[in-house]
């Protein structure tokens, strides 16, 4: 697969996971947020956050900007937009913070793509079995 496809694939997978997290968090509410509001918030958090992080990292900005700004958007936008209860907020925070490393581990381990969170080194199956780099 061409390397140019990696970033869009990572965005799509992250977006799907994030939408699933939001739907899970609000699942017990009698009045569910509209699918469009969940998708818009998810797009801002995931697509906007990943593009911002990639662009600012490539531009040579400090790590604390390209990690902190998307993290703050992730922390603040969904809870404020959907008015999470305390219980929903705690579930959201745990799932939101675990999802990125889980996605990174899956892509690193199964495909050898280490670009999602390059500071967390996860060997791929190919590396473990002595077949060199990733797909």
pLDDT mean by block of 10 residues, the chain; 135 residues:
86 97 97 97 97 94 91 97 98 95 89 76 83 54
> How far apart, in whole angstroms, are the C-alpha atoms of residue 18 and residue 96?
7
| Alpha helices by DSSP H, 26-133 | 35-42, 49-58, 63-81, 86-111, 125-128
Residue 20 placed within a domain = yes
Count the domains in the chain.
1
Q: Which residue in this structure is represented by tokens 């990639």?
A: 54
Residue 135, domain member (yes or no): no
Q: Give residue 118's domain range.
A: 3-128
* Residue 134 domain flag: no
Tell me what pLDDT residue 52 has: 97
Query: Is residue 22 in a domain?
Result: yes
- Whole-angstrom Cα distance, residue 118 to residue 122? 9
Which of 109, 108, 115, 105 is closest to 53 using CA atoms?
Answer: 115
Is 133 contained in some domain? no
For the whole model, what pTM was predicted? 0.88
């Amino acid at each position: 697969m061409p390397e140019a496809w990696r970033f869009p694939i990572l965005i799509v997978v992250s977006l799907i996971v994030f939408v699933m997290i939001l739907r899970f968090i609000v699942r017990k509410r009698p009045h569910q947020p509209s699918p469009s509001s969940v998708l818009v918030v998810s797009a801002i958090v995931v697509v906007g956050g990943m593009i911002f992080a990639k662009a600012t990292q490539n531009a040579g900005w400090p790590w604390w900007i390209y990690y902190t700004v998307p993290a703050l958007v992730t922390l603040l936008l969904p809870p404020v937009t959907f008015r999470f209860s305390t219980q929903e907020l705690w579930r959201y925070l745990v799932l939101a913070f675990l999802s990125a490393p889980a996605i990174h581990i899956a892509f690193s381990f199964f495909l050898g793509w280490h670009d999602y969170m390059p500071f967390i080194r996860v060997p791929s199956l190919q590396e473990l079995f002595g077949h060199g780099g990733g797909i």
